[in-house]
Amino acid sequence: MNAAGVRHILDSIGAMFPDAHCELSHSNAFELTIAVLLSAQCTDATVNKVTADLFQKYHTPLDYVSVPIEELEQDIRRIGLYRNKAKHIHNLCKILIEQYGGEIPSEHDKLVLLPGVGRKTANVVVSNAFGVPAIAVDTHVERVSKRLGLAGWKDSVLEVEKKLMKQVPKDEWTLTHHRLIFFGRYHCKAQSPNCQVCPLLDVCREGKKRMKTAQLREDRESKAKK
């Protein structure tokens, strides 16, 4: 896609969601890391309900390692994969205490080495907590990017990230990440995208296909009634 096409997409989504932001509740880099870790295969809304109590009980890495892991499991049991996530949190906190003075490192290459912290989580943390430009590719960003032709249908998550970084101006990486999430979460949904009122229908491969299918269905139903 040429630069003008990318600009059209970014501006259109920006007009729809000018105030897009991280919806995970947190007050510091440590809480954000825990929240993103918990959000894997889980909605931000559910995570926020759990962390509302969790962050009242646990404030530092030492707080987490000071309780039996079974207790932490109970505290987050409403979260999917809670046993694995509790184990990751315990191990992550031990490393933070032993190697980083109880603080979350700001370097991406150090973050990805922490238990339960993958590339996406590291990108979210460095961009939101430390102001480092990054594009984290979650399910919404991946879906929207492929539908709009910013990435190929068969591209891996890493390939999608690299293509977005190449096409989007660096100073817009973090904001674009949030806006693509909002666009995918509230407009271009996985099962019921709002294609009929989408300002990007003209460049959306998926939208054109869906609208064509809907029109053909409508035509068949109309003929059947005659």
Catalytic positions: 120, 138
Contact 30, 61 (CB under 8 A): yes
Contact 149, 1 (CB under 8 A): yes
Nearest to 32 by CA among 143, 144, 114: 114
207: left (phi over 0), alpha (psi -120 to 50) or beta: alpha
Residues 6+ apart with CB under 8 A from 28: 129
Nearest to 72 by CA among 51, 55, 86, 53: 86
Q: Supply 138's token pair.
A: 């979650």
How does 201-211 read in b/e, with b if 16+ C-beta sit within 10 Å? bebbebbeebe
